[in-house]
Chain A
Amino acid sequence: MGKLLRTIFLVDLFQGLWVTFRNQNPKYIYTEQYPQERPKVAERYRGAPRLNINPDNGETLCISCNLCALACPEALIVVTSQRNETTKRKDLTTFTYDTSRCMFCGLCEDACPVDALELTQDFEMATYTREGQIWDRQMLEEGPRPTQYKC
């Protein structure tokens, strides 16, 4: 009898509707207003790569050991270097990082012995060309420059 009454008075449906109305409270708004408000990504977020420079003298921290290129599963890092005859060390000449093939696994930054290569919290890496996805040394040191639109 009770079951019949519950069926006739649509108790199950109103129960569900009550949940819906309970969640209408504006304090439960979860929408991110993305371009206006930047989402705060986690500290360990693996985003755009960066090649760190020594802040004191502006020289690169990279010792061109090539370990990141060997660790990369997609082999998308190319490091070239030149032997410096005066210091007997390798000087970094070019460093290219193809972000179009990168899957941001973080193996390259784990491999780096001097913390020169790092995956940063930047995530706006869109470009208009495929060539623009291949980052050279200058871009890696300066970081991405996403186009800012103002209205």
Chain B
Amino acid sequence: MPTANIVTAGKTPRLKSRGGISDTNLLLLITISVFIAMYICAILFLGSGFLKPQTFFNILNENASLIILSCGMSIVMITGGIDISVGTLTALVCMSSAVHLDYQGGSVLTSLLLALGIGLAFGIVQGFLIAYLEIQPFIVTLAGMFFAKGMTTIVNATQFNVENEAFRALKATRLYVPGMGSVNKLGAYVPAYVEIGVVVAVVTAILLFCLLRWTRLGRNFYAVGGNTQSANMLGINVKRTKFMAYLLCGLLAGIGGFVYFLHVGSGSPSHASGAEMNAIASSIIGGTMLTGGVGNIAGTFFGVLSLSTIKNIVSSLGLDEAWWTNITVAAMICLFLVIQSVVLLRKNKSKQ
């Protein structure tokens, strides 16, 4: 996994930097440590199930769409905003694509385009309202969340499985991971596999990592989130940068929605419920600061993994009701929020 240390790693700084490690790297370090610690705990206390490669790859299979959504969320959060519409938007994308495939005779390609179109449309409208009309992001995306929720049931009110042949074939495609696998109870070797969505998610994550790390747009996201007024004074077009963040987030929700659709193979108004919370939680756990300017796609990736690992642990402990995972997620958000807040307050104090 690439980390944010690329720049600092190769060179020895001429001066011992006084503040030590940067915010981004500090929070990323916490995240990765938490993930590793958690996975080791899982292996130690919950048996060897967690040792099988497939357990790990299943986490990826289950969370491919969440990774994509979280990446979008991280970008928006880096600019200092938030987008809580992504969860219900995923449901809307699923439902629309499903209806398009089965009831309107669409092809997989057109349904993919539809998914991207819906995501983009949401991104453009929300981005315009937030960046150019300067309305609070939370209100705009809260409305977006409810709009998507309502639209989903207007498109189709009940759950149904997609029968389209091409789509089912695509859904069933398994990509075997070379060199990985385990021996099952009967002694046969079972190679580990991932679904197509995982490939999409990983590619997206890498692309976005590069975007944030090396492109002007990506760096502008950080600058705007760090200090909006300064960013303006430094010659950055703040409004366009914010707009692009929401546009990207919407587009990624479209992609994530389609990946989710590919994973479950059905449309339902209750799909991906609470996904926005999981995405926010993953970003926060991954070291993205709500106040903006700090965050990293690599962290977000580990944030998703940490979150799903802890969910797995919770369910392995026999607490497999859905409400336990919700409480765990909330507790994780709370913990990491407080960590961030403390980091921030301590920093402000030390400056005085």
A interacts with B: no
Q: Which residues of B contact A (CB under 8 A)?
A: none
